[in-house]
Amino acid sequence: MTARTAIVVGADGQDGVLLSESLRARGDRVVPVGRHGTIDITRPDDVAELVAGLRPDEVYLLAAVHHSAQDTVTDPVRLCHRSYAVNTFSVVHFLDAVERHSPATRVFYAASSHVFGVPDTPVQDETTPLRPTSIYGISKAAGLLHCRAYRARGVFASAGILYNHESPLRRPGFVSRKIVDAVVRIQRGDAGRLVLGSLSAGSDWGYAPDYVEAMRRILELAEPDDFVVASGVRHTVGEFAAIAFEAAGLDWRDHVEEDAAVLTRPDVPLVGDASRLRAATGWRPSLGFADMVRTLLRAAGATLVAPADRPG
């Protein structure tokens, strides 16, 4: 089989690193495009030159400007401009370059569950209306709509509507990383407490390596389309904390404090239905929620205890 060439945009982020490793393991040539490279994805001429010169088999658009529910936004106007530049306009630049210079190229766009905003249904699928309420969600919805528009013009443009997915590469500031880091610190003797915004807030959490596998499978399909990528199960922040502390032989109630002032946006219970993806590609998550949490702890250096040794 001839090695494929893939451009991975956002190559230095969690998904970009994992996807690049996966593609290289398959034997593909990976051309990384990241924050510190020479290609400016917000400049259409840069993007056109890259695509025309490489004529890649695949392009993965994973770059994003986003923040967690516990990050403080000090300049929403600047955030809006940056979000559109990366989450929307760069997508258009690549789609246009592929259409004009490399029409055989297949494009994957990483959309987000935030495109649904506050949905009317407890579980969302590909037919759920787009009603984004955040800057991130609005800019991602715009990118998704541009993919659909170019698809109608003949570009192989697929999108994954990705729900939360975690790995040891998740950056600090996200609640999953905060919990894992706190468990490691406390297990090593730190007497500090972990402050979380809401223990009842929840998310549809998955394991990031599974989600980049879904990206690959989506581009291997005969026809382009949009697919929800999700675990289909909602878990609360409290559950995450309880599993993490218990796995390390600790009682989370001794170490966790709830403070609503930490939150910067309200909780929206988003849960995805990935049945279309499973039917089309055979994709299945490799790890359940508890196993994912334990995997994150091991990677962070926590010592896990046997079930019989955990606090009752």
Q: What structural domains and CATH numbers belong to the chain?
A: 5-166+207-229 (3.40.50.720), 175-201+234-269+287-309 (3.90.25.10)
45 Cβ neighbours under 8 A, 6+ residues apart: none
- CB of 154 within 8 A of CB of 107? no
pLDDT above 70 (res 264): no
Residue with tokens 């451009």: 7
- pLDDT tens across 277-292, in order? 999 999 999 999 999 9
Residues 180-222 pLDDT 10s: 999 999 999 987 889 999 999 999 999 999 999 999 999 999 9
Distance CA 73, CA 33 (A): 26
Q: What does the pLDDT average to over 235-250?
A: 97
- What is the C-alpha end-to-end distance of the chain, expressed in Å? 54
pLDDT, position 76: 85
The token pair that represents 238 in the structure block? 């409290």
pLDDT at 308 over 60: no
CA separation (Å) from 88 to 116, 144, 156, 212?
A: 16, 8, 17, 21
39 vs 263, more confident:
39
pLDDT(309) > 90? no
Strand 235-236 with 202-203, pairing: antiparallel
Beta strands per DSSP E along 113-210:
156-162, 165-166, 194-196, 202-203, 206-207
pTM of the full structure: 0.93
Q: How deeply is 53 buried, as exposed, middle or buried, from its count of CB atoms within 10 A (0-12, 13-18, 19+)? A: exposed
Tens digits of residue pLDDT in 31-90: 999 988 899 999 999 999 999 999 999 999 999 998 654 445 678 889 999 999 999 999
Mention every residue, 6+ apart, whose C-beta is less than 8 A from residue 189: none
Q: Average pLDDT, stretch 167-173? A: 91
Bridge pairing between strands 202-203 and 156-162: unpaired
Closest CA to 22 of 164, 204, 158, 167: 167
Q: By percentage, how much of the chain surpasses pLDDT 70?
A: 94
